[in-house]
Amino acid sequence: MKSFFRMSYPYILWISVFIVAPMVMILLYAVTKTGNGTLTFQFTLEHFARFFSDPDFLRVLWTSLRIALITTVFCILVGYPAALFIANLKERAQTLMILLLTLPMWINMLLKTYAWRGILMNFDLESEVKVFIGMVYDFLPYMVIQIHTAISKLDRELLTASYDLGANRWQSFLRVTLPLSVPGIISGITLVFLPAVSSFVIPKMLGGGNYVLIGNLIEKYFLVAGDWNFGSAISLIMALIIIASMYLTKKLDRSAEEA
């Protein structure tokens, strides 16, 4: 048993260096003042007070949550019928469709966003609409794959039993397929909402600099303004929102499994 535990040492080292240490540094920057010495720190919460007292920052946060929520809902509305259609195909056809769906995911997000910018520049659309299109395009496959996985694992005998008991297709879908595919929907929500709320490449490139989300705000204060303390405070606020979202989705997943 000890020998197996020793095999985890490289992973523990990796997590410590690339995850734990950066998070500790962000936390330290977020609660200290600018210009601290090497061994002397002046702790403060003024960065958080600055964020929550400025209506512009709160507006950016609300816009980020709103566009991420709209993107997630749209991905569910489009992704569920697509996943249901794929799951009802023959096995070879399902494999081909999933392959075609995942092919764009092999391409770098930056290149795909550049392509969409070239396409959308020919249309007179608002910046928010362009950002929304880019986000749906990038994150929709994650929703479809998760829901398809959940539907494809369903026991088809349950549907047969539902038909034998007098239910039609719509009733069988509402009472059998949909409830049993909820875990896939929740997993899809996690994979779409979390990266959408913290995205900064898509708003920056498709929004034309006129559409700012929380990810762009963090990038600005780290790379442009050089205010790492305030940028870290915003990052920590965003991390807490993401953790809370993950907790809620996990709780919903457990409730769906118990039901």
71 has pLDDT over 80: yes
Range(s) of the domain holding residue 146: 44-258
Question: Is 129 a domain residue?
Answer: yes
**CATH number of the domain residue 124 falls in:** 1.10.3720.10
Question: Is 1 a domain residue?
Answer: no
Whether the CB-CB separation of 133 and 97 falls below 8 Å is answered with: no
Euclidean distance between CA atoms 230 and 177, whole angstroms: 47
Tens of pLDDT along 210-239? 778 888 888 888 888 888 889 999 999 988
1 has pLDDT over 60: no
Q: Residue 83 corresponds to which tokens in the numbers above?
A: 């996943």
Q: How many domains does the chain have?
A: 1
Give the pLDDT confidence score for residue 66 in this predicted structure.
Answer: 92
Question: Is 24 a domain residue?
Answer: no
Question: Is 211 a domain residue?
Answer: yes
Burial zone of 44 (CB within 10 Å; 0-12 exposed, 13-18 middle, 19+ buried): middle
Backbone angles phi, psi at 73, to 5 degrees: -65, -45
Tens of pLDDT along 98-153? 999 888 888 888 888 888 988 888 888 888 889 999 999 999 999 999 999 999 88
Euclidean distance between CA atoms 233 and 129, whole angstroms: 29
Q: What is the 3-state secondary structure (H, E, C) of 157-215?
A: HHHHHHHHCCCCHHHHHHHHHHHHCHHHHHHHHHHHHHHHHCCCHHHHHHCCCCCCCHH
Question: pLDDT-derived band of residue 76, with 50, 70 and 90 as boundaries?
Answer: very high
Euclidean distance between CA atoms 72 and 81, whole angstroms: 15
Question: Is 237 a domain residue?
Answer: yes
Distances (CA, A) of 93 to 42, 85, 97, 143: 62, 11, 6, 19
Question: Is 30 a domain residue?
Answer: no
Mean pLDDT, the chain, whole residue set: 86
Give the pLDDT confidence score for residue 243 in this predicted structure.
Answer: 87
Which of the 8 DSSP states describes residue 32? Answer: B
Q: Using alpha carbons only, how large is the chain's radius of gyration in Å?
A: 22
Question: pLDDT-derived band of residue 40, with 50, 70 and 90 as boundaries?
Answer: low
Question: Is 56 a domain residue?
Answer: yes
Give CA angle at 248 (259, 151), nearest 5°. 50
- Rounded average pLDDT over 173-180: 86
